[in-house]
Amino acid sequence: MSLMDKMLALDQRIIFALMFIALAFPILSPVILPMNIQQYSRDSFEFADSIPSGSVVLIEGGLGAATYPQGGPGLEVQIVHLLSKDIKLVFFSIGTETAAWTVTAIDNALAKLPSGVAAENGVNWVHMGYVPGGESGVAAFANDIRSVKTEDHFGTPIGQIPLMSDINKASDFAALFWWGGSEGSIPFGIRQIVTPFGVPMTGMCTTNEVPNYTPYINSGQMIGIIGGVRGSAEYEYLMGMPGLALGQAMATNFGGLLWALLVVLGNVLYFVARREGGAK
Amino acid sequence: MSDRLVKMQIPMILTAVIGLLMIIEFFFPMPASVTSLNVTLRSFVTIISATALILGTIVLTIFHTKKVGTRGSEWYYSIVYVVAFVVTAGLGVLNVRDTTFLWIYNNMTSPIGAALYSLTAFYITSAAYRVLRARNWNAAVLLVCALVVLLMLIPIGAILFPPVVPLGEWIRSFPSGAGFRGMIIGTSLGIMGLGVRVFMGRQKEHLGIREERRDSE
């Protein structure tokens, strides 16, 4: 077997090792390189920034163990952003696991809050917990919260939560933030809340899912989107709160460049081999 | 009551009536009684979904327990499931906010989930190296688009190759956006067609009719 053939059939363990080094190195030795902000992220940030103080917004926490590293840091910074503007937050999740991760996001965000920002459970924010039933559950929640939930995630009866006293349907919210991760549930929010109730919405999904939702952004049904770890990093950057996501985004620099390099190398070798009459 | 009435006609009528109630509310203002009925029906969906989850867990547990009992193929994996289920569910039922339960969740479930998801980076790179080659014009277009969008998405891409930003945005917003829009419209039309067929009683799979026929053959 010639060197060319060996390179074309490169052992995947070598590729795995190279990728591991490319991803691990920037995380272990953080280097913050310059970055530009994507328009979708900027739109999403500006949408959150434009919500008037005192408004109540709805947040779907759809991040799980697999997707929290991508979206979690962004959600945490957004919670800080909104609470700092005296905006009240109502959380819910359409998965049991994601409901637990939403608690993690809230806890981490509260730990990052500047002193003096009000963040009392039940007054400034409330987590309504798991809403079962997928899209039907979202529809039911949007139409009549009390028909779906009688208590919040921590077992407090809804009647004893001051923030919920005047809230019972989607039209009571000024905005919707759908942190869908890889749930594929962003259209639930568009179909069941944006269209019937006219509530403006922005969202978050994993990087690979961004093209799925561009039609909704182009049509104006959704205002921007936070895409994966880079979107979270950009939110951190715009908020001036560099954190985990910014470091991870730097890792994607090296991982992405290695990917591009390997693909180009594979093509160069392929053409050389084809010219020599080897590759098909 | 005849078997056909119970197994087919009543479920088909129920499906059509409930489906119509849901759709009508979406397009026309309805009296409070209809809205209230719909709220109740949606609560049924929530209850049925939750029950299905419990039922699924029970069926899965019975399957794995039987497999361990009969020493079926790769039965030892079933032991892992049964032990994990008993310990986690047991602790969760006792107290979902118990430290031990949360420890299991935070230190086992979460890292496993994150690790499995992150494996895609390695497999995608390996697959791209082997498969993403400009073998013909179609493949070449795919390759160039992939490289441009990737460089647009990585934070340093725009610094190293500034033209990838407008080009990548264009690819994402127009060709890719148009493709996804077509897919969404196509899927929606398909769902509408399926809905009409269900209302008219032409689609019977949700009643288990196809399975029934196969069983009887």
Task: For residue B46, give the nearest of A133, A233, A260 by CB distance.
Answer: A133
Q: Cα dihedral angle (B167, B168, B170, B173), rounded to 10 degrees?
A: 180
Look at residue A10 and tell me if it is in a domain: no
| Position B105 in a domain | yes
β-pair partners for B103: none
Q: What mean pLDDT comes out for the span A141-145?
A: 91
Does B48 fall in a domain?
A: no
**Amino acid identity, residue B116?**
L
| Residue of chain A minimizing CA distance to B115 | A66
Domain that holds residue B112: 95-131
Query: What value, to the nearest 5°, has the Cα angle with vertex A83 and ends A132 and A241?
Result: 105
Closest CA to A183 of A67, A41, A58, A40: A67
Q: Whole-angstrom distance between the N-terminal and C-terminal Cα of chain B?
A: 25
Instruction: State the total domains in chain A.
Output: 1
Domain count across chain B: 1
Q: Does residue A82 belong to any structural domain of this protein?
A: yes
Name A83's Cβ contacts closer than 8 Å, sequence gap at least 6. Answer: A89, A109, A113, A117, A118, A119, A124, A125
pLDDT of residue A8: 84
CB A94 within 8 A of CB A137: yes
Interatomic CA distance for residues A185 and A135, integer angstroms? 8
A266 touches chain B (CB under 8 A): yes
Which of A168, A181, A79, A171 is CA-nearest to residue A128? A168
Are the Cβ atoms of B146 and A143 closer than 8 angstroms? Answer: no
Please give the average per-residue pLDDT across A90-106, as a whole number: 92
- How many angstroms away from the CA of A87 is the closest CA of chain B? 28
Is residue B126 included in any domain, yes or no? yes
pLDDT (average), residues A30-52: 89
pLDDT band at A134 (very low <50, low <70, confident <90, very high): confident
Q: Is residue B113 part of a domain?
A: yes
List C-alpha distances in Å: B67 to A52, A87, B45, B105.
59, 53, 32, 26
The two tokens of residue A279 are: 């590759």
Chain B neighbors of A256, CB-CB under 8 A: 150-151, 153-154, 157
Residue at A18 is within a domain: no
Most confidently modeled range among A3-17, A107-121, B32-46: A107-121
Q: What is the pLDDT of residue A160?
A: 96
Taking the Cβ of residue A30 and every Cβ of chain B, the question of whether any pair is shorter than 8 Å is answered with no
For residue A155, the one-letter residue type is G
Among A226, A248, A263, A265, pick the best mutation site for testing chain B contact (most B Cβ within 10 A).
A263
Q: What is the pLDDT of residues A66-81, one digit of tens each?
A: 889 889 999 999 999 9
B178 inside domain? no
This prediction's pTM: 0.79
Residue-wise pLDDT tens digits, B132-191: 999 999 999 999 999 999 998 888 888 888 899 899 989 988 898 888 889 989 999 999
Q: Is A2 inside a domain boundary?
A: no
Q: Is B118 a domain residue?
A: yes
> Is residue B117 one of the residues assigned to a domain?
yes
Under 8 Å CB pairs connecting chains A and B tally to 157
Confidence of residue A7 (pLDDT cuts 50, 70, 90): confident
Q: How much is the pLDDT for A75?
A: 96
Tell whether the model's pLDDT for residue B80 goes beyond 80.
yes
Contact present, B12 and B205 (Cβ < 8 Å): no
The residue range of the domain holding A214 is: 39-252
How much is the pLDDT for A184?
A: 87
Q: What is the tens place of the pLDDT at every residue in B3-22?
A: 777 778 888 888 888 888 88
Q: Does B168 reside within a domain?
A: no
Question: What share of chain A in percent tops pLDDT 90?
Answer: 65
Tell me the ipTM for this assembly.
0.76
